Amino acid sequence: MAPRRRSTKFIFVTGGVVSSIGKGISAASIAAIMEARGLKVTLAKLDPYLNVDPGTMNPFQHGEVFVTDDGAETDLDLGHYERFTSATMGRRNSVTSGQIYEAVLGRERRGDYLGGTVQVIPHITDEIKARILAAAEGADLCIIEVGGTVGDIEGLPFLEAIRQMRLELGRDNAMFVHVTYVPYIRTAGELKTKPTQHSVMALRQIGIQPDVLVCRSEKPMPPEVKRKISLFCNVPPEGVVSAMDVPSVYEIPLVFREEGLDQRICDLLGIWAREAALQDWRRITDRLRSAGPEVTIAIVGKYVELRESYKSLNEALLHGGIASGCKVKLHFIEAEDLERSDDGAALLAAADGVLVPGGFGSRGIEGKILAAQCARERRIPYLGICLGLQVAVIEFSRHVCGLARANSTEFDAASPHPVVHMLPEQEGVTDKGGTMRLGAQPCSLEPGSLAARLYGSETASERHRHRFEVNNDYVARLCDKGLRISGVYTGPRAAAAVTPLPDGRAGLVETIEIPDHPFFFGCQFHPEYKSRPRAPHPVFAGFVAAALARRKAQGEQRGAE
C-alpha cells in the first residue's frame, strides 16, 4: 500500500492598520524559511476586488501584472512568491472575488442550486474554501495571503472562509498570522501599539484570533512594547515577531529566522523538520550589503512615477547586479520627456545601459524609439522587452532600412510599413480579458548567437503577454541590413503568422540582436518574470555585465585622459 500522504497544513496571512506594509513579502518570507526547513511549500493570494483578474487594470490601479507559466495574469505578489521560493505559481494560486462570483453565478444560471437561495455564506465561502484547497494540492504547507486590510467590507467573505477552515482543519493544521504596523510617533519618541490592538480586535470580532503577529516598524521594538502587544492582543510573546525596516526585502527571511518564527510555526502546527538552511539568503544579503561598483540603467517607460508597475523588472535588474557583483541604480525616464527634450540623447548619456520595458498604448512611443536609436548609435547596451523589442524593430526599419514611416499598427494603423502588426487570429478578438498571447512558450535560439550564449542553450521557455508581433514580411529586409533574428517560436501557433520566415519555417520572431554592438538585445517575451535572487536570469545577468563593462571601459578612458 502506498504511504498515506501527509495532509497539507495552512498558514493564513492577513494584514491590518494600513496597506503596503509588506504583507506579500511577509508571506513569501515565511514560505522561504519553511522551505529552508525542507518542506514543500506553495502559496496563494486571495484578492477581494471584483475584476476576474488584474489583466485589464492599468498599472496605476494595481501595479504590475504578473504572468505565470500557465498564462494567468495575476497579482504582483505572486512574483514575490516565486522569487522567495522554488515554487512555480499558476492560475490556481491567484483567486479573486470576481472569479468566485463568476463561478457561483454561472452555476446559479445553470440551475445547480435550483430551489435554493444563493448566499454569501455558504455558497461564496464554500467556493473560496474549495479554491484554497485546490491551490494547496501536493504541498506540505500552503501559505494563503488575504489581500486588503482587515476591516474592509469586501474582504469579509475571505476572512469568514478562513475562519471556517481553521475550525474544520483543526489547530494542528491551520494557523493565523496577522501583519500589522507599529508606528513611531516622533513627538512622543515612542512606538505606538494602539493601531495593532484595534486591528487585532477587529479580527477577533469576526472570530479570528491570530497566533502570530508580524509587527512592521521603522524603529527596533523594545521588549516592553512586545510584551504590551502580547498582553493586549492575546498572543504569547513568542508569537510577536518584530520586523523592522531593512535595506533589502531579501533580508526578511533572515529576520524571521532570527525572531524564531520558523520554530514557532513548527511548534504550533506540529511540524517536525530540520533546522533552516538559509545560506543562500545569507549570501544574497552579504552581496547586497557589500560595496561594489555601481552601474546606472536608464528605464524609459510610461509609468515611471509608479515603481510598483515594474516590480519584477526592478528585481530582475537587481538580480543581474548580484550575478555581476555590482549595484544597479535605476534611473527612470518618462518616455514623453525624451520626446520633448531638445537633446533626448543627452538624457540617456549618463546611463551604462538603456532598457525599454513592456508597455501598451501610443503615449511616449516616439521617446522609446529615440531611446533605442540612441543606444544603437552610441553603442550603449540595450535591452528591449516586448514593446522594447518592437520599438527597436521600428527604429531599425526607419533609420537603417530607410522605411521612413515604419511603425506598429498599434500606434499607426495606416503605416505604409507595418513592421509590427497583429496576427489575423488576434484581430478577431473582441473580449479584452485574458485574450493576449499569454504564458510560457518555447523558443529556439540560433547557435552562436548572443541569445544562445546568454542562455547557454539552444532553447528557452519564456512568458508572454502581448497582442502584436514582428511582421514576417519585413524580416528579410531587416536581416539584410544587419539585424539578427536569433530566437524564433515555431510551435503550433506559428501557423497564424501567415507569411513564413525567410528560411521557410512557420515562425514568430522571439529575439533580435545586433551582432556588431556590445549588447543589443530585444525579446518578445518577459524574462523578468522568471528571474530569482538565487538564480538571476541570464538575460539580465548579461545585460548588467555589459553595462558594467562599459562603465569600466569609460572609467579607464577617463583615467587615461
Stretch in the footprint of ligand GLN (CB under 6 A) among 16-24, 152-160, 358-366, 443-451: 358-366
CA distance 293 to 444: 35
Q: Kindly state the cell numbers that stand for 388.
A: 522594447
Binding of residue 466 to ligand GLN (CB under 6 A): yes
C-alpha cell belonging to residue 129: 474554501
Residue 376 binds ligand GLN, judged by CB under 6 A: no
Q: Which of 63, 71, 321, 359 binds ligand GLN (CB under 6 A)?
A: 359
Q: How far is the CB of 198 from ligand GLN (least distance, A)?
A: 42
Stretch that binds ligand GLN, among 40-48, 301-309, 315-323, 353-361 (CB under 6 A): 353-361
Residues whose CB is less than 8 angstroms from the CB of residue 182 and which lie 6 or more positions away in sequence, other chains included: 191, 192, 193, 195, 196, 215, 216, 217, 221, 225, 229
Locate cell 518618462: which residue?
A: 334
From 80, 331, 464, 526, active-site residue: 526
Binding residues for ligand GLN, rule CB under 6 A, total 10
537 binding ligand GLN? (CB under 6 A) = no
The reply on whether position 365 binds ligand GLN by CB under 6 A is no
**H helix or E strand, kind and range, residue 204:** helix 194-205
Q: Which is nearer to ligand GLN, 522 or 542 (CB)?
A: 522
In whole angstroms, give the CA distance from residue 166 to residue 379.
59
Beta strand residue intervals within 263-313, DSSP E: 294-301
How many C-beta neighbours within 10 Å does residue 464 have? Answer: 22
Is 527 among the residues that bind ligand GLN (CB under 6 A)?
A: no
How many CB atoms sit inside 10 A of residue 405's CB? 13
Among residues 244 and 429, whose Cβ is nearest to ligand GLN? 429
CB of 18 to ligand GLN, least distance (A): 31
Owner of C-alpha cell 472569479? 99
CB of 551 to ligand GLN, least distance (A): 27
> What would the grid cell of residue 492 be?
503550433
379 lies in the site for ligand GLN, by CB under 6 A: no
Of 80 and 465, the one with the shorter C-beta distance to ligand GLN is: 465
Binding mask 327-346 for ligand GLN (x = CB under 6 A): --------------------
Residue (69 or 259) nearer to ligand GLN, CB: 69
Rounded to the nearest 5°, which phi and psi values hold at 321? -65, -40
Catalytic site residue 528?
yes
Binding segment (CB under 6 A) for ligand GLN, from list 16-24, 147-155, 184-192, 466-474:
466-474
- 215, 386, 443, 523: which is the annotated catalytic residue? 386
Residue labelled with grid coordinates 500557465: 70
DSSP of 123-192, one letter per residue? IIHHHHHHHHHHHHTT-SEEEEEEPS-TT-GGGHHHHHHHHHHHHHH-TTTEEEEEEEE--EETTTTEE-
Measured from the CB of residue 154, what is the shortest distance to ligand GLN in angstroms?
A: 29
Least distance (Å) between residue 67 CB and ligand GLN: 9
Binding range to ligand GLN, per CB under 6 A, among 131-139, 265-273, 459-467, 481-489: 459-467
Contact between 232 and ligand GLN (CB under 6 A)?
no
411 forms part of the interface with ligand GLN (CB under 6 A): no
From 65-73, 175-183, 398-406, 460-468, give the range in contact with ligand GLN by CB under 6 A: 460-468
358 sits near ligand GLN (criterion: CB under 6 A): yes
**What are the start-end ranges of the E strands in 405-552?**
407-408, 418-422, 437-445, 459-466, 468-470, 484-489, 508-513, 520-523
Length of the chain: 561
CB of 408 to ligand GLN, least distance (A): 7
Site for ligand GLN contains 73 (CB under 6 A): no
Q: What's the CA gap between 119 and 320, in Å, rounded?
A: 50
Q: Is 410 in the site for ligand GLN (CB under 6 A)?
A: yes
> Counting contacts by CB under 6 A, is residue 465 touching ligand GLN?
yes
What is the rounded CA–CA span in Å between residue 458 and residue 233? 57
Looking at the Cβ atoms of 331 and 465, the one nearer to ligand GLN is: 465
Q: CA 88 → CA 188, 298, 389, distances in Å?
A: 46, 30, 26
- Check binding of 311 to ligand GLN (CB under 6 A): no
Q: Distance between alpha carbon 462 and the CA centroid of its chain, in Å?
A: 14
158 binds ligand GLN (CB under 6 A): no
Mark the segment that binds ligand GLN (CB under 6 A) among 57-65, 208-216, 225-233, 465-473: 465-473
Q: For residues 69 and 62, what is the distance between their CA atoms, to the nearest angstrom?
A: 20
CB of 426 to ligand GLN, least distance (A): 9
Q: Which of 113, 232, 332, 360 binds ligand GLN (CB under 6 A)?
A: 360
CB contact at 8 A, 472 and 497: yes
Of the pair 254, 313, the CB lying nearest ligand GLN is at 313
84 burial via Cβ count (<10 Å: 0-12, 13-18, 19+): buried
**x-marked contacts with ligand GLN along 169-198 as a string, rule CB under 6 A:** ------------------------------
Task: Report if residue 467 touches ligand GLN, rule: CB under 6 A.
Answer: yes
- H-type alpha helices, 270-327: 279-289, 311-324
CB of 474 to ligand GLN, least distance (A): 16
For residue 252, give the nearest of 303, 179, 324, 313 by alpha carbon.
179
The residue from 271, 387, 401, 544 that contacts ligand GLN (CB under 6 A) is: 387
Nearer to ligand GLN, 300 or 386 (CB): 386
Q: Which of 101, 176, 303, 468 binds ligand GLN (CB under 6 A)?
A: 468
Nearer to ligand GLN, 24 or 358 (CB): 358
Q: What is the DSSP string of 35-104?
A: HTTT--EEEEEEE-SSSSSGGGS-HHHHSPPEE-TT--EE-THHHHHHHHSS----GGGEEEHHHHHHHH
Q: What positions carry a catalytic annotation?
A: 386, 526, 528
Residues of the shown chain interacting with ligand GLN in the complex, contacts defined by CB under 6 A = 358-360, 386-387, 410, 465-468
